Structure 1
């Protein structure tokens, strides 16, 4: 929490942190994120949670919806844009219970979802997170 802050960060603050993180990613990654929509919502919708087999909405802090870059085809048409969702209340709960800054947590979740966009392994995601440090 920032000095003097008495309210939980709003969606705009979460989005600003996420966009700043995206701006720090290596050029090779940023070049392929222009069409990805970033959305900050309070919690995941019930349909999303059900499709993932998650009962507790606070257990999901981020989600990538789309096809990884390597699986896309130029023959596809009419598909929705790829999206990264960050779930504000789940992030705040995790932040309040953890020992990392809000910026570190949002960056970690965002980079994990960016990793799904590129079809990266967990090890690759950690390397990308280190590069965006």
Structure 2
């Protein structure tokens, strides 16, 4: 068809796993020192999607339902002493669901990655989703 707009898609490149990891590192570095000190040796990883096992465990309908996940023993349950054989606490950020969310909202990609990272850090500190929603609502009021 003449007159039909066809964008040159060759110039559009989705941010990579490394790009998302760099945004997460930048967001983490901007957190207050005291807060980062409390996080200890938490590890942040980026993957395209959650595993099938994670999706099943969380009753997710699609792989796009989950932007991030805290995996480990939160501070409240930790007792301060790591158990023998205990894996390090990890935060997973899921690139494709984050990009999908970004495409549908006005927030910058950096802001979305920071929000997901901080949300998952909240789970590390023992906060529930409901706790964090209440804190966000009170902060915006």
TM-score (norm 1): 0.85
- Deviation, 1:75, is 6.3
The alignment partner of 1:64 has SS state of strand
Q: Specify the alignment match of 1:37 in structure 2.
A: 43
Residues 4-43 of structure 1: CA deviation (Å, up to 9, x unaligned): x621100111011101111111122101334111110000
The worse-fitting range, judged by mean Cα deviation, of 12-21 and 26-35 is 26-35
The alignment partner of 1:32 has SS state of helix
Residues 54/112 of structure 1: CA separation in 2 closer, same or farther (3 Å cut): same
Structure 1 outlier segments of 4+, above 6 Å: none
Q: Specify the alignment match of 1:96 in structure 2.
A: 103
Q: Specify the alignment match of 1:122 in structure 2.
A: 132
How many equivalent residue pairs? 125
Q: Specify the alignment match of 1:64 in structure 2.
A: 70
Question: Which one has a bigger Cα radius of gyration?
Answer: 2
Query: Distance between the aligned counterparts of 1:39 and 1:50, measured in 2?
Result: 20
Residues 25/124 of structure 1: CA separation in 2 closer, same or farther (3 Å cut): farther
Among candidates 94, 98, 112, match of residue 87 of structure 1: 94
Q: Specify the alignment match of 1:112 in structure 2.
A: 119
- Deviation, 1:64, is 0.3
Residues 115, 125 of structure 1: 8 Å contact kept: no
Alignment RMSD (CA, Å): 2.1
